[in-house]
Amino acid sequence: MQLNNNTIFITGGTSGIGRALAEAFHRRGNQIIIAGRRKELLDEVTRANPGMDAVELDVADAAQIQHVASRLIARYPKLNVVINNAGIMPFDDAGGALDDAKAVHLVETNLLGPVRVSAAFIAHLKRQPQAWLINNSSVLAYVPLAATALYSATKAAIHSYSLSQRFMLRNTSVRVLEIAPPWVDTDLVHKSGDPRAMPLDAFIAQTMDKLSTATDEVLVDAALPLRANVGPDEHAFVNQFNTALVNEPIPVA
């Protein structure tokens, strides 16, 4: 991926990995637009990073996504990178009662949010000479954490959706990248300083380094053992499987 001279829109850009990624790209000479639900946090980040822009957005709100996308495309006609980073991580009990409202909000935010944001920008991105869609999943997409079963499932869904996006966009100028973080010490759940968590600055440094040559996934070294649980040939197999169906479509009644 080209790491400078981009116009980048990133959701969930007010804290944690989102803010750190936004600031890392900002330092490399990119125009950054961050999105978040709370104006005071957006203002705090933009004050600390002159030249960065911000927009209020709740990615669980489909109508708001469309409105924000239209505004940003008009204001930034060279926008060529969309980073789907916003997410929440509540604990749940897959062996117990379901809080239905909390579950729906999680799926709206973590799964439908990135799907809707991507769809809102995709026609514009296809018109750019070079463009990237970057989806932030998790190593829990490959090895779920039972205490956050539904969160893990949404990240597995984002991984699967990214594979399909990559295939469907294969003949366009849009490349699809997936960042799959390990446990990073952020405030997504509770910033603890736990030695088992990867420090945020180390995660960002490795991620930016790997983004420069990435063609599909962006995995820091700590994530590799969990990713290997699925196997390294997944991309080739998915491509082969879908190509076979393109060449010999399934009949539709």
90-145 pLDDT, tens digit per residue, is: 999 999 999 999 999 999 999 999 999 999 999 999 999 999 999 999 999 998 99
Q: What is the pLDDT of residue 187?
A: 78
Q: Which residues are catalytic?
A: 151
Residues 81, 7: Cα–Cα separation, whole Å: 6
Domain ranges of the chain: 7-247
Q: Rounded to two decimals, what is the model's pTM?
A: 0.92
Name the superfamily (CATH) of residues 7-247.
NAD(P)-binding Rossmann-like Domain (3.40.50.720)
Across 135-150, b (16+ Cβ under 10 Å) vs e yields: bbbbbbbbebeeebbb
Residues 83, 184: Cα–Cα separation, whole Å: 18
Residue 243 contacts by C-beta under 8 Å, 6 or more apart in sequence? none
